[in-house]
Amino acid sequence: MKRECRLPTSLFLNLVHVCLVQANYAPYFFDNGASSSNGNMALFSLSEDTAVGTHVYTLNGTDPEGDPVTYGITFEAGARKYFAVDENYGNVTLIAELDREVQARRICFKILFSHSFRSDLVQSCPLLVTSSHLLFLRPLHLWLLPSSIPPLPITVFAFRPNSTLFLDFQNTPVGSSIFQIEAVDRDTGSGGSINYFLQNIHTNKFTIDRHSGVLRIKTGINLDYEKARTFFVTAVAKDGGGKLRGNHKVYSATTTITINVEDIQDTPPIFVGTPYYGYVYEDTLVGSEVITVVAIDGDRGKPNDIYYSIVNGNEGSFEINNATGAISVVKSPTKLKKEVYELKVQASEIGSEDNETAHTSTTVIIRVVDLNNHPPTFYGESGTQNQFEVTLYEHPLEGETLRGLKITVNDSDQGANAKFNLHLVGPGGIFRVVPQTVLNEAQVTIIVENSAAIDYEKFQDLTFKLLAVEVNTPEKFSSTADIVIHLLDTNDNIPKFSSDYYIAKIPENSPGGSNVVAVTAIDPDSGLWGELKYTIYGTGADLFLIHPSTGIIYTQPWAILDAEINSKYHFFVKAEDIEGKHSLAEVFITVLDVNDHSPEFSENIQEKTMIIGSPVKVEVGFCMEVCLTELQ
Ligand SMILES: *[C@@H]1O[C@H](CO)[C@@H](O)[C@H](O)[C@H]1NC(C)=O
Ligand SMILES: *[C@@H]1O[C@H](CO)[C@@H](O)[C@H](O)[C@H]1NC(C)=O
Ligand SMILES: *[C@@H]1O[C@H](CO)[C@@H](O)[C@H](O)[C@H]1NC(C)=O
Ligand SMILES: *[C@@H]1O[C@H](CO)[C@@H](O)[C@H](O)[C@H]1NC(C)=O
Ligand SMILES: *[C@@H]1O[C@H](CO)[C@@H](O)[C@H](O)[C@H]1NC(C)=O
Ligand SMILES: *[C@@H]1O[C@H](CO)[C@@H](O)[C@H](O)[C@H]1NC(C)=O
């Protein structure tokens, strides 16, 4: 048990008389310890039942030079005098009755100590008066952790049984001693041996050493300001008990220690109101606020101010007010390339910028919401266009694209609002449009599907309507464009005769150059491709000529037709265009007999008698077809 209670030096008043004439050292008291009744009277205590006249203490001091010393006690002016001292021997005698309940527990007085040249005046304050033995609590050490401040010895005595001490200490390593209480019992033996223990429920966070009174944080416990800020620990000091005026008496004292946990910067800021979703509409003005994030310092005790920043993801489109956390859009929404932006926003504590634990980040999702306010629109090479024309030769290859058409279609809306279908309305099955479904923008391609139908001889112009109609919008905005296809002719037709064969008759003896028959062939192609040249050939064609452009067949100027020699001719006629496309037809010509011969009788016929006026029967041996009777 501790009984050595040194008076703190701060409580001494040394009155030094400086002697300039002669070197002299001040007298001093012997310090024989608090338990001694001989010495400097430090921490002197006295039981209230002490009888008046008792010699309670002996002041004991000396002078370095060996000069004789004298002792004295003074009380404050007007205060009751309790003690007297023998000037030469230092015997201190109680001269007034002590009553703890009535009188102050502390009695202040001064011990005067002097010799021939100088004197020391020592204030001995306080003197403790107890009922029978003294018990007081004294905090020894208080650590402020973690901090640069070294452990501070506490030099104030706590005399009242219930000292409430406000201790500000920060998060303290487990097991470290945070505080030491000390009870002093001036009794000796078991009556003066003190045990310490804790009384209240917070014993589960703190422990006290039975013997030393050192208070510690229990192993495994971490004090966290964010969870509990104050603890009340009631410590009990109890002596071993002893005799007082014949009775066994156990004394105890309790003191409540209030432990205030001090906050430290151990918690990063916390975003409140997460998750964050913001929307930018197409008509949102540049600079408008989209969403505001709020973070607070997790350290609630002395929260730092927060500043906000966008770490990434804004792509120059968003800004944050570093003080308020308001995020605003700084680009025109139509220039926002993405539909969804994921911003990483950081909240940092001002003053702890470099500390990893002092910032936190969150994701802010900003969706760019499109309004369906644009129809699909067709563009030509120089802006919007509603009519597109192209000229091409008939019968292009199937699968070929109409290269002459440069059509772009786009819908400035976004997402589903910009999805539309393309249709080609007009004569079916001839062309096909690609693509059929467009998102935002596309080059329109028109592909030949049926070449045969693209015939200049049928249509010289083909007209279609190109339709773009939104698919998924309630408005179903649409646009149309006219597609006009001018066809150019090609020599795609061969001449065609009006008949596969021609039959003609010509009397014999027709003069040379007589017309026989006219043939006609038609070629619908335009220009020279439709101009035909007729020729004839074949074995029977020698006697005939054909006019190359009119198709009139006539006899050679020199030709003499004689049915008797050859009454039938057969040859071919050819109609040919400028590129040699041709077709053939057959021509059959019969030469009609005329009476171009005098009758000649054969020997046997001439022998017959001919009577004019009477029918003559002539038998012609070779000519069966024609019987001519000539009257002479
Ligand atoms: C005074 O104290 C000193 C030092 O402890 C001791 O040697 C001496 O005997 C004491 N004098 C008296 C008169 O008790
Ligand atoms: C003080 O003590 C001394 C020696 O013990 C004694 O002779 C003297 O009488 C005492 N004085 C008083 C006032 O009790
Ligand atoms: C000390 O405090 C406790 C609790 O506050 C109280 O019960 C007790 O009476 C007090 N003791 C004294 C001596 O004031
Ligand atoms: C950051 O904060 C932690 C917790 O308070 C502290 O231990 C650490 O020393 C700090 N670091 C800096 C660089 O301030
Ligand atoms: C916050 O922004 C203001 C003005 O934009 C600037 O002056 C200030 O330095 C910024 N604060 C921090 C902590 O970045
Ligand atoms: C649509 O296309 C035209 C022509 O290519 C272009 O000028 C315009 O910027 C486009 N609009 C959008 C929203 O892409």
The closest ligand to the CA of 58 turns out to be 1
Residue 585's pLDDT band (cuts 50, 70, 90): very high
Report the C-alpha gap between 420 and 203 in whole angstroms: 75
Percent over 90 (pLDDT), the chain = 28
The best mutation among 374, 377, 408, 440 to test binding of ligand 6, ranked by most ligand atoms within 8 Å of the C-beta, falls on 408
Q: At residue 601, does pLDDT exceed 50? A: yes
Q: Indicate if ligand 6 lies below 6 Å from the C-beta of 535.
A: no
Report the C-alpha gap between 569 and 591 in whole angstroms: 8
Atom 11, ligand 1: residue with shortest CA distance: 60
- pLDDT, one tens digit per residue, over 427-475 is 888 999 999 999 989 999 999 999 999 999 888 999 999 999 999 888 8
* Residue 106 structure tokens: 């502390």
Residue count of the chain: 632
Q: At residue 579, does pLDDT exceed 80? A: yes
| C-alpha distance from residue 500 to each of 192, 494, 584, 589 (Å) | 151, 14, 8, 15
List strand residue ranges (DSSP E) for 417-528, in order: 419-425, 431-434, 437-439, 441-448, 461-470, 478-488, 496-497, 501-507, 515-518, 521-522
The amino acid at residue 242 is G
Atom 7, ligand 6: residue with shortest CA distance: 383
The best mutation among 373, 406, 410, 414 to test binding of ligand 6, ranked by most ligand atoms within 8 Å of the C-beta, falls on 410
Q: Are strands 359-369 and 276-281 parallel, antiparallel or unpaired?
A: parallel
- pLDDT, one tens digit per residue, over 222-277 is 677 667 777 777 777 777 766 666 677 777 777 777 776 666 666 788 899 889 99
| C-alpha distance from residue 34 to each of 6, 83, 194, 287 (Å) | 7, 18, 17, 79
Contact call for residues 202 and 215 (beta carbons, < 8 A)? no
Atom 13, ligand 5: residue with shortest CA distance: 307
The best mutation among 225, 357, 359, 360 to test binding of ligand 4, ranked by most ligand atoms within 8 Å of the C-beta, falls on 357
State whether residue 228 is helix, strand or coil.
coil
What distance in angstroms lies between residue 459's CA and the mean position of ligand 5's atoms?
74
**Which neighbouring-strand residues pair with 262?**
none
Residue 597's pLDDT band (cuts 50, 70, 90): low
Report the chain's terminal Cα–Cα distance, integer Å.
Answer: 197
Most confident of 65-79, 521-535, 590-604: 521-535
Atom 12, ligand 1: residue with shortest CA distance: 60
